[in-house]
Structure 1
């Protein structure tokens, strides 16, 4: 039976609309005393969030996690860490420009300045890949495939793992997680729904007005309380009644900017990396970047090409493409602000921008010409092999915690304090997945070699 989820709450026949006063709340989740520290003179609570993520161990591990190309292929290609820093920089520009526009029409609360929006968006961007496992996105598939061999349909989603790190497991000194502000967590929540809700929408059991919000899931079972806290403080529009595991809210408007910053960076940077990895021809890259350039900029790029300064030309075009994309996304935000506040925008800001077509072509060409190269496929295949066999080995502790082998695995996984009874199996499974997903590429490969005796 098809059940319709409400598009938004209706109050007095008027659809509920989010407001910037609530959406920029600096209430913190996870602190044991739940108090909000007063901002320092030159440092807002959002700035503190940026530092907490930047100095976290989970963020540092991104330096040794694959973005697209194998680590060590050359010194130029991006890792998850450099990608995240670039996304944060683009997000800062998006947040600042949108903040200045909102301030210009007196839409911001009196205590908020445009740079606060820049910090909120850049902080969410900094953390956007913090939950990704080793070996790129193929690591997610490798984990799910390995679990299925053990009769488990336990989904793994990097976005949900990231929210788990930020709100529950990340470098906790007191309380839970990194104790970030609601505004930053809201901007981070690209998919503000639980796995069961996303599944029911995909299966047709629920009707949902916006498939963009629930294409994947971003809230794990143990993080429902954190998500509810964030949504209530920010005034996010609920898509469902708060019951069971089927929870979903509309996106925070600034989450669209975080998404756009990520899309801009990987679509443009993957083409640049493809060129410097000698996968893409220079004339092909020029053709892809031409729609982002003005006539005079094209003439200068062509002059660089004539002088055989191809590397400089690609750097030049990449920078211009990013700048032009930023401006296009900001214009999209201005046009669609009412729909964003009403939870009604069903496409990304890039997809409703004037650059939707050339940005989509960058992505489609990368799928065809970059992501399917031998080196990239080798990394994905290695990820399947390494993560699959590690999970097979660690599942002995999950399924049979009393065995001699399992007790050794428990020490390896730092899980000796978890109960060894059947009722705690799910807790052991989640602990194991936290450990696996937190591995760097190098650590996962080294652990695999030690366990298998391969040198």
Structure 2
């Protein structure tokens, strides 16, 4: 049976009409602009390092828990499926899904919180701004430019991951330095929404982490199936799976419930987005950017149930004492490393030591932040051991 693929909608992003790259390059003979961006992201060293960066659990705690890399792959799969169903460009949604976490430091949100605290006197740390630094500056693979030279549509999607940057009275000067340091930032139309493929990737992120956090939390025994059944939508699905398969072992019950839950989220997203498209009638990607609200969205009913799930996960997983202990360890490691490198830049390895020793203290802090943010969990742990454990010097 031949699979039916929806026709492309008129407001989809078209690679042939891309606004292009900020450094001129000849087009690829075999790939669209968006496919080329996806491939550059996959081959980036920052992407490879995601395999050993925390999602919720520190990367070395178990092979079955998600890391930033496996999370990004799950987001990409969901984003592609949704984009295909809606008639959007799959490759652009996939590229954005794969790149959306490149700026995350080691140890997940605990690492981000600690780096932001360390950088309070130096304009702070923001992982979305750091993603932009990674793809426009820190990746150094090409002979004539720094970064990956991604096209406009990919960069705007990364920058506007959470919607327009300039809203609610916010100005360009209010933005994190990681944004402001990009010389072409204002050309990314910061007061508008991103294109529909970027909006799909952002909500695919929500679908992926909501569901795999349920999976990982159950696997880690932070809560039980009976306990999460108190969450309305999740409970309905788990109880239905148990009713359909009364003799099924727990692992398969969890897998089947997660599969069904992801399907519910995707169906709701495509249904609500199609409804909005019918009501708002955008005729081009530019009209999508100009709308006063996102085109891609969940229904109000699902948003309400999603909020209840997040409250449960916050109480029973993200703030579980076992997770808190790892958060505490992680924050101490990053704090120690940051302040040592800031005070003693000659302890940095090359070429970072050269960069840090030739600039002011304020500029050095950003160099140190870039170095620490790029670490994997394991490298940060080992670097801390080498620098603060005298036995490791022997």
**TM-score bin, normalised by smaller chain:** 0.7 to 0.9
1:207-286 mapped onto 2 (5 Å cutoff) = 220-223=179-182, 225-229=183-187, 231=188, 236=189, 239=191, 249-286=192-229
Q: CA deviation at 1:385?
A: 0.5
- CA distance in structure 2 between the partners assigned to 1:288 and 1:218 by the alignment: 40
| Corresponding position: 1:184 with 2:154 | yes
Q: CA deviation at 1:447?
A: 0.9
- CA distance in structure 1 between the partners assigned to 2:264 and 2:252 by the alignment: 18
- CA distance in structure 1 between the partners assigned to 2:343 and 2:265 by the alignment: 49
Which residue of 2 is the match for residue 345 of structure 1? 293
Which residue of 1 is the match for residue 105 of structure 2? 133
Q: Contact (CA 8 Å) 2:118, 2:124: kept in 1 or not?
A: no
Which residue of 2 is the match for residue 430 of structure 1? 366
1:314-357, Cα deviation, whole Å (9 max, x unpaired):
1001011111211211122223343844331169723x454222
Change (3 A) 1:228 1:44: same
1:1-150 mapped onto 2 (5 Å cutoff) = 20=12, 25-31=17-23, 34-40=24-30, 43-99=31-87, 114=88, 117-148=89-120
| Corresponding position: 1:415 with 2:392 | no
Instruction: Name the TM-score, length of structure 1 as normaliser.
Output: 0.73
Of 285-294 and 257-266, deviating more is 285-294
Q: Contact (CA 8 Å) 1:193, 1:218: kept in 2 or not?
A: no
Change (3 A) 1:437 1:413: farther
- CA distance in structure 2 between the partners assigned to 1:345 and 1:370 by the alignment: 32
Q: Contact (CA 8 Å) 1:64, 1:442: kept in 2 or not?
A: yes
- How many corresponding residue pairs? 371
Q: CA deviation at 1:95?
A: 1.2
Secondary structure, aligned partner of 1:166? helix
Change (3 A) 1:80 1:218: farther
- CA distance in structure 2 between the partners assigned to 1:44 and 1:181 by the alignment: 11
1:150-186, Cα deviation, whole Å (9 max, x unpaired):
xx14210001100111122223313121121222222
Q: Quick one: which of 316, 330, 333 aligns to 1:383? A: 330
Q: Contact (CA 8 Å) 2:355, 2:367: kept in 1 or not?
A: no
Secondary structure, aligned partner of 1:349? coil
- CA distance in structure 2 between the partners assigned to 1:279 and 1:215 by the alignment: 39
1:222-274, Cα deviation, whole Å (9 max, x unpaired):
11x23234x2xxxx4x53xxxxxxxxx43333322111101111111101111
| Corresponding position: 1:318 with 2:277 | no
Which residue of 2 is the match for residue 172 of structure 1? 141
Of 214-223 and 90-99, deviating more is 214-223
Q: Contact (CA 8 Å) 1:140, 1:158: kept in 2 or not?
A: yes
Task: Tell me which protein shows more helix as a share of its residues.
Answer: 2
Q: Quick one: which of 116, 127, 131 aligns to 1:162? A: 131
- CA distance in structure 2 between the partners assigned to 1:60 and 1:21 by the alignment: 28
Name the Cα RMSD after superposition.
3.1
Q: Contact (CA 8 Å) 1:191, 1:216: kept in 2 or not?
A: no
Change (3 A) 1:36 1:452: same
Which residue of 2 is the match for residue 403 of structure 1? none
* Gap runs ≥5 in structure 2: 1-9, 283-287
* Gap runs ≥5 in structure 1: 1-17, 100-113, 209-213, 240-248, 398-405
Change (3 A) 1:146 1:300: closer
Instruction: Name the TM-score, length of structure 2 as normaliser.
Output: 0.83
